[in-house]
Every structure is written in structure tokens, then in C-alpha cells.
Amino acid sequence: MNENTEYIVLTVEQAAKRLNIGRTLMYELVSTGVVESVHIGRLRRIPLQALTNYVAKLMTSTSNPEAA
């Protein structure tokens, strides 16, 4: 598959790149449940929708500091 392929689930490393954050922080977000992930067999993957939901939560908490 080429680099322009759009996956619906990502590895932790791919998700970190999409958010432009480090791999360690991405693992922390996943392990604490802040970003949802799924198991496919023995693999852990992050659905694209989980990244969208995470960013939406960040935008909500940033625009309304009293909601946090």
C-alpha cells in the first residue's frame, strides 16, 4: 500500500504522527484511556474516530475552561 492510503485504524506510532506528538505521549494517552483504542487479535490500534473525538474534547475544554 502506498503512503496515500487512508486507514481507519492506526498503530500508536501512526496516531502520534497524525497528532504531531511523541510516541511516548501517545502511549500514555492510550494506556490511560484518554484516547480510545481497540484490540485486533494481539494488536492495539487507534481508530481515526478516536483521534477526532480526542481533539474535539481538547477544543471543548480549551474554549470553556470551566468545563474541565
Task: List, for residues 12-52, the tens digit of each pLDDT value.
Answer: 999 999 999 999 999 999 999 999 999 999 999 999 999 99
- Does the pTM exceed 0.85? no
Cα 47 from Cα 67, distance rounded (Å):
26
Residue 41 vs residues 38, 44, 45: alpha-carbon distances, Å: 9, 8, 10
**Cell numbers placing 17:** 504522527
Cβ atoms of residues 25 and 36 within 8 Å: no
**Cell numbers 487479535 correspond to what residue?**
41
What was the pLDDT predicted at 3? 61
Cβ atoms of residues 54 and 63 within 8 Å: no
